[in-house]
Amino acid sequence: MNVRPTARFAINLTRGAFSQSIKRALNTTPAPVTAPLSSLSKFVKIVEVGPRDGLQNEKQVIPAETKIEFINRLSDTGLSVVEATSFVSPKWVPQMGDATKVITSIKKKDNINYPCLTPNIQGLDAAIKAGVKEVAVFLAASDSFSKKNINCSVEESFERVRPLITKAQENGILVRGYVSCVVGCPYEGPIAPRRVAEVSKKLYDMGCYEISLGDTIGVATPGTIRELLQTVSQVVPMKALAVHCHDTYGQALANIHCALEMGVRVVDSSMAGLGGCPYAPGASGNVATEDVVYMLHGMHYSTGIDLGKAIETGNWISERLGKANGSKAARALTLKAISAAAAPCPPTPESPVKSKL
């Protein structure tokens, strides 16, 4: 396992010491000049998808203990939502075969939701048995993608999730809806916003309290995001919409900024940028939570998240996976903290430097 020296140095610091070093590094960053937002609009909910969406496509087998520790560390950062795992057949997603063990072993906090993806009734039944309080279902806005991914059309997928949503509600379980390929499809190309609106409205009307709009192949720009949200928000309240941006073309933060201006207050992201784009090998996938939080705090939005602890957690999981942290903010602030820690302390009046006479 190859780990960059900066990551290893950061990991070796105690958790509290590293967070304090990051805070000191942040204190030397120029303050933003943006005017403060009103109290009604200043909070943005971050939905951390790293443990599920971020890890599910990792080729190496990740021990359940590592996933559990990862989620526990995420819980200590101030996040209010951590998507923990997916109750999917191990035949299709081997990495999620330990879902029950993971969700029943983590140290749950009362103020945090731990939703789990449940693609079918069997997955929902397992989630109910494990005591899950919130689940997520997914559909695509593209028939071609739906057929390639779950072997059915979009309309057929609605018939699959309808009884799932009903059963979840009967058991007092919240349901979140994901819509994939909201801007572009790897098979069909551009997707019309009105098609996304139709799918989103159906999910919302079925009982999904929140609809996450996923730019699966990362082709969105602020222009297409604006058009998308203008269309979808006509049939689903803006307060019930979330954005799930991939950074494949380096547009994720710009797209999130645009969504915020449109009124969106829920953002999906993945610690350390975990989770690649399967349709663009080697390209970036999920936007990094650390980068999103750094931007939001700089714009005077509140998230409840301790950025120092978030960076520490991102460095920790990156080290466990043997890869560099995919967050630009995390890398920059980690190097800044390490440089500050390694710099010699100037003499103080209490400890004068004695001259050699």
Catalytic residue chosen out of the listed positions 181, 185, 277, 345: 277
Closest among 241, 240, 248 to 287, alpha carbons compared: 248
Integer-rounded Cα radius of gyration of the chain = 21
**277 is annotated as an active-site residue:** yes
Contact between 147 and 187 under an 8 Å Cβ cutoff? The reply is: no
Cβ-contact 42, 300 below 8 angstroms: yes
210-215 vs 174-180, strand pairing mode: parallel
CB 218 within 8 A of CB 249: yes
Helix 289-298 and helix 328-342: axis angle, to 10°?
80
CB atoms within 10 A of CB 288: 30
Beta bridge partners of 220: none
Catalytic residues: 277
